[in-house]
Amino acid sequence: MAEKHFEVSRLPGFATTAIIVFVALYVPIFTLVAYSFNASMSVAVWGGFSTDWYVKAWSNQQIKDATLRSLIIACFAAAISTAVATMAALGTTRRKAFKGQTFIYVMINQPLMVPEIVTAVALLILFGMIKQATGIQGIGYVILAHSAFCIPFAYLPIRARLEGMDLSLETAAADLYATPWQTFRRVTLPLLAPGIAAGAMLAFVISLDDVVITEFVKAGGQDTLPTYMLGQMKRQLTPEINAVSSMLLLVTVALLTAFFLLTRKKNDG
Amino acid sequence: MTAETIISARNVVKAFGQGAAAVRALDDVSLDILRGEFFTLLGPSGCGKTTLLRLIAGFEMPTGGQILLDGADITTLPPNRRPVNTVFQSYALFPHLTVAQNVAFGLQMLGKPAAEVKATTARMLALVKLDHLAGRKTAQLSGGQQQRVALARALAPQPKVLLLDEPLSALDLKLRKEMQVELKRLQIETGITFVFVTHDQEEALTMSDRIGVMSNGKLQQVGTAKDIYTRPRNRFVASFIGETNFLTGTAEDDALRIAGGARIPVPGLRAGGAATVTVRPEQLRLGPPAEGGLPATVRDLVYFGTDTHCHLLLEDGTELVARLQSPASGEAGFVTGQKVGLRFAEGAVQKVEE
Amino acid sequence: MSPAELRETRRSARNGWLLSTPALILLFCAAAGPLLIVVIYSFLAPGKYGNVEWQFSTAGWVGILWTKDIFDETWHLADAHLAIFWRSVSLSLLTTLFTFLVGFPTAWFIATRPANHRAFWLFLITIPFWTNLLIRTYAINEVLRKEGLVNTVLIKLHVLSEPLDMLYGPFAIFVGMTYVYLPLMVLPLFASIDRFDMKLLEAGHDLYASRWQLLRRVILPIVKPGIIAGSILVFVPSLGAYVTPRVLGGGKQMMIGNFIELQFGQGRNWPLGAALSMTLLIVVTVALLVYVRYAGRDGDARHG
């Protein structure tokens, strides 16, 4: 005699809607990846399976340059933003609230709040002025911009990790004769490491994915992979762009998975 | 035993918060702890005992007063420059280090040569019977084992004083009893002064050479377990440690006159004004009313196995509890509603301050 | 406080500032500081070939709503601008509403999964959230275009005989924004629902409420902070969207973001672009203040 279980939290149609949402979230991405294996010349017609577009993308000098540039920028931006974000996280957590702390929070989170297009325009103007005044050109402007807007993304996981850390561990280290520097080096830093790695990874992904700010700040011939792709989208599309997208997607998903594993470990420890 | 002071707290004040919202966690506490003793700070949560411990360790700065160690003023010295170590309530073991690395930490920070670090670490692990777990990460240990690592780690640098902040509170009852014995053994074997913080009066009574009872940021009484139990200074100490009865009335010479007019002998009491006395439940003796004593009525009997608690009502309405040995089977005990005569054991009635 | 305590407090605050300084400098140079220059630029006169003339002018701000007729020099309302603002606001509101309508059941679904499955479903939501916005927008392009997935399937099913032209218009922008910003709605909603005590539903049923009444009278009022947080988190980036309307709007259907870019490109009206940027920033700031006021406590939970 099977009695239907009465579940209070079940609401009619909710599960169906949710499943449709999940499907709808992934179908476009899978379609995009599928078409990267399209043998046909056009993105429109399926012409059988092929990895030609990957080969083609790989031999495209513009794509190679843009990829390398993206990686260099992301490495620098991740390193710089993570370094300053780590310091800021150490400065703003686990101490008595001090004057100006809210200001620091607002400043750090500012890139999350201001629309990207506004920051992009602002940087276009500022960097234009600097370039005109000093004549200094180069990729440094893009790196500087990326380093700034990656700070909140690096800061959040590091702060979360710090806040979850038992304060008494550092107290214990001080009690056992460690100087403040030794305490940091021997206790705080090793325990914070997963948070720093997670922050760096997030910053790297954010930098790698940025379109808007890069589009405004870059000089001619300084295309990153996303701005190159944006430029291509105006023209006749070939599955090459799908191949590039799929590869970028793969890198992002791999880094994100690593990020989740890193931050999840915190809860076990 | 020479009574040499190792730690001296002088008029220590610690306030948290500022202005009108400030809370005095410690209010003018002065205390001397003697070299080599097992000293316990006992009190309910929020009484200031942990704050005092943290001030001795250097984790907090006092708002006022001084703390001396071996006669030297250490009030503002940072914790890493004080030869005292702490066993934390949460143990605070370094999760990224092994058991042995945890124990060696303090020695390394003191810059001891590697050979000495290794030897001392091994000795400490043997002392707490954990030699077989030296290579484990601390997260893999049981609560009792973590406790031992924390002890070994704090003892390894051979501190002048070991501070223990409710170290047994996270353990279950059986393990707690074992660790009580263990701690006492370690204290005797190492000869190090232990300052132990607890809210558990039984723990305090069984382990300590001396106890400091605290409440509301003030030190209420300092003395041996027996002193504090048998001669509590005030109402708080009497009621916090063990169960007790209070009687209030007018002081006369060597006696207390209670409301009903009855006179209770209290040797040493001097006439003048209101007074309160205390008497432990096991010091009450009941007999037939005909044999004299304070007239009382049995209101309720609560059976506890070996003991029976007998709730009594005096003629003036005061309620008292007497702890009697439970009658053997077949033996007639007291019954509810029975009239009895109440007497007190010699010297059992103690005057206390309110 | 004793001198020692005071020293300790001051030292702690000083270290807090010192440690934050490098981040603050970087943010000031390349994020917050440049916004001040935008304010200045919005009050300057446009240069002939882009950039600005260094003389005070309110033309940029006036130009947001009015244009000067080239022939008779009279001012009248700029209909084209109003159309862009209306498109931005209406599409953003529509996106917010629709992400809520589908996002709420999704968040509810995740929150009512067994605890050990929840992380998996959340991960599924989070992955698109962090993946490249441009790629996701392009993926929608793949789905909506004439020979795309939707048309192909509908024609195969004989629902359609001719492919629908869905791309390059408000509809495509709306679909794209809903797609890319949906996780921003689901995550704060989930955070709210996750804290919701399901026992309340039992209590509600016990007191004769139907499921619909429970939803309206118990669930929605309690998870309101999450709804507000999610709505703001979707509305704010929708309003400032640049990539999605550019890729899916096909250049003709601009939103504010593209309109701003235009002023710095072919439009050659930097002061107008600067004034538009500031206007956008002000609207967004107001929305965020509402968020802080009503749902501040949920703020930290928004990244799952």
Strand order in the sheet with B284-287: B284-287, B339-344, B294-304, B307-314, B319-325
Q: What is the ipTM of this complex?
A: 0.84
Residue-wise pLDDT tens digits, B28-72: 999 999 999 999 999 998 899 999 999 999 998 899 999 999 999
State which residue of chain B sits closest to C9, comparing Cα positions.
Answer: B61
Q: Is B287 found in the same domain as B228? A: no
Q: CA-to-CA distance for A38 and A46, rounded, in angstroms?
A: 6
In whole numbers, what is the pLDDT of chain C averaged over residues?
Answer: 83
Please report the DSSP string for B163-218 in residue order.
EEESTTTTS-HHHHHHHHHHHHHHHHHH--EEEEEES-HHHHHHH-SEEEEEETTE
Q: Which residue has the higher pLDDT, A56 or C75?
A: A56
3-state secondary structure chain A: CCCCCCCCCCCCCHHHHHHHHHHHHHHHHHHHHHHCCECCCCCCCCCCECCHHHHHHHHCHHHHHHHHHHHHHHHHHHHHHHHHHHHHHHHHCCCCCCCCHHHHHHHHHHHHHCCHHHHHHHHHHHHHHHHHHHCCCCCHHHHHHHHHHHHHHHHHHHHHHHHHCCHHHHHHHHHCCCCHHHHHHHHHHHHHHHHHHHHHHHHHHHHHHCCHHHHHHCCCCCCCHHHHHHHHCCCCCCHHHHHHHHHHHHHHHHHHHHHHHHHHHHHHC
Q: CA-to-CA distance for A217 and A65, rounded, in angstroms?
A: 18
Residue-wise pLDDT tens digits, B251-280: 888 888 888 778 888 888 888 888 999 999
Per CB-CB distance under 8 Å, the chain A contacts of C146 are 44
Q: Is B108 found in the same domain as B60? A: yes
At residue C304, the pLDDT reads: 34
Interchain pair C126, A256: CB under 8 A:
yes
Q: Could you tell me the two tokens for C286?
A: 């107001």
Q: For chain B, first and last CA: distance in Å?
A: 34
Residue-wise pLDDT tens digits, C275-285: 999 989 998 88
Per CB-CB distance under 8 Å, the chain C contacts of A148 are 26-27, 29-31
B279 DSSP β-pair partners: B245
Among A98, A125, A208, beta carbon nearest to C38: A125
Residue found under tokens 């992002």: A252
Q: Is B344 found in the same domain as B217? A: no
At residue A100, the pLDDT reads: 87
Q: Is B132 found in the same domain as B46? A: yes
Q: Which residue has the higher pLDDT, C211 or A182?
A: A182
Chosen from C100, C131, C144, C179 to mutate, greatest number of chain A CBs within 10 A: C131
At residue A2, the pLDDT reads: 46
At residue C1, the pLDDT reads: 67
Residue B92 near residue B148 (C-beta atoms within 8 A): no
The total domain count for chain B is: 2
Per CB-CB distance under 8 Å, the chain A contacts of C242 are 116-117, 120, 211-212
pLDDT for residue B330 is more than 70: no
Among A177, A182, A183, beta carbon nearest to B157: A177
pLDDT for residue C126 is more than 80: yes
At residue A42, the pLDDT reads: 63
CB under 8 Å to C238, separation ≥6 — which residues?
C91, C92, C95, C96, C177, C181
Q: Does B105 touch chain A (CB under 8 A)?
A: yes
Per CB-CB distance under 8 Å, the chain C contacts of B64 are 2
Residue A72 near residue A139 (C-beta atoms within 8 A): yes
Chain C nearest-CA distance from B148, in A, is 33
Residue-wise pLDDT tens digits, B213-253: 999 999 999 999 999 998 999 999 999 998 899 999 888 88
Q: Which of residues 77-96 of C touch A (CB under 8 A)?
A: none
Q: Is B252 found in the same domain as B228? A: no
Q: Is B301 found in the same domain as B182? A: no
For residue B81, the domain's CATH number is 3.40.50.300
Q: Does A173 touch chain B (CB under 8 A)?
A: yes
**Which domains can be identified in chain C, with CATH numbers?**
3-62 (no CATH), 75-303 (1.10.3720.10)
Q: For chain A, first and last CA: distance in Å?
A: 46
Parent domain of B327: 243-352
At residue A238, the pLDDT reads: 73
Query: In order along chain A (269 residues), what is the average pLDDT of each group of 10 residues?
Result: 58 86 89 82 71 84 90 96 95 86 90 89 90 87 94 91 88 93 93 90 89 89 88 75 86 83 58
Residue-wise pLDDT tens digits, C250-260: 777 788 888 88
Q: Is B174 found in the same domain as B66? A: yes
Among A168, A177, A183, beta carbon nearest to B88: A168
Q: Which of residues 183-202 of C touch A (CB under 8 A)?
A: 198, 201-202
Q: Could you tell me the two tokens for A149?
A: 């807007």
Single-letter code of the amino acid located at A139: I
Q: Are strands B193-198 and B38-42 parallel, antiparallel or unpaired?
A: parallel
Q: Is B75 found in the same domain as B148? A: yes
Instruction: List the beta strands (DSSP E) in chain B.
Output: 5-16, 23-34, 38-42, 64-69, 72-73, 84-87, 161-165, 193-198, 210-215, 218-223, 245-252, 255-258, 263-265, 274-279, 284-287, 294-304, 307-314, 319-325, 339-344, 350-352
Q: CA-to-CA distance for B207 and A113, rounded, in angstroms?
A: 59
Q: Is B199 found in the same domain as B307? A: no
Q: CA-to-CA distance for A258 and A269, rounded, in angstroms?
A: 17
**Which domains can be identified in chain A, with CATH numbers?**
61-268 (1.10.3720.10)
Chain C nearest-CA distance from A16, in A, is 9
A49 DSSP β-pair partners: A38
- Place C300 in a pLDDT band, splitting at 50, 70 and 90: very low
Q: Is B158 found in the same domain as B252? A: no
State which residue of chain C sits closest to B15, comparing Cα positions.
Answer: C1
Q: Does A171 touch chain C (CB under 8 A)?
A: no
Chain B nearest-CA distance from A179, in A, is 6
- Secondary structure class of B243 (helix, strand, coil): coil
Instruction: Chain C: list its partners (3+ Cβ pairs within 8 Å).
Output: A, B
Residue C256 near residue C239 (C-beta atoms within 8 A): yes
Q: Is B261 found in the same domain as B123? A: no
For residue B342, the domain's CATH number is 2.40.50.140
- Place C218 in a pLDDT band, splitting at 50, 70 and 90: confident
Residue B40 near residue B9 (C-beta atoms within 8 A): no
Per CB-CB distance under 8 Å, the chain C contacts of B63 are 1-2, 5
Per CB-CB distance under 8 Å, the chain C contacts of A45 are 147
Among C139, C239, C288, beta carbon nearest to A29: C139
Interchain pair A171, B92: CB under 8 A:
yes
Q: CA-to-CA distance for C120 and A224, rounded, in angstroms?
A: 33
**Cα dihedral angle (C141, C88, A220, A128), rounded to 10 degrees?**
-160
Interchain pair B62, C1: CB under 8 A:
no
Distances (CA, A) of A46 to A35, A37, A38, A49: 8, 9, 6, 8
Per CB-CB distance under 8 Å, the chain C contacts of B18 are 1
Per CB-CB distance under 8 Å, the chain A contacts of C145 are 43-44
At residue C299, the pLDDT reads: 42
Residue-wise pLDDT tens digits, C146-161: 777 787 788 788 787 7
At residue A3, the pLDDT reads: 47
Q: Is B221 found in the same domain as B252? A: no
pLDDT for residue C9 is more than 90: no
Residue found under tokens 């280090």: B97
Q: How many other CB atoms sit within 10 Å of the CB of residue B180?
A: 17
Distances (CA, A) of A30 to A22, A33, A169, C140: 12, 5, 47, 11
Per CB-CB distance under 8 Å, the chain C contacts of A260 are 123, 126
Q: CA-to-CA distance for A82 and A158, rounded, in angstroms?
A: 9
Q: Does A97 touch chain C (CB under 8 A)?
A: no
Q: Which of B120-129, C60-69, C174-183 shows the lowest per-residue confidence on average (mean pLDDT)?
A: C60-69
B296 DSSP β-pair partners: B314, B340
Residue A252 near residue A208 (C-beta atoms within 8 A): yes
At residue A267, the pLDDT reads: 44
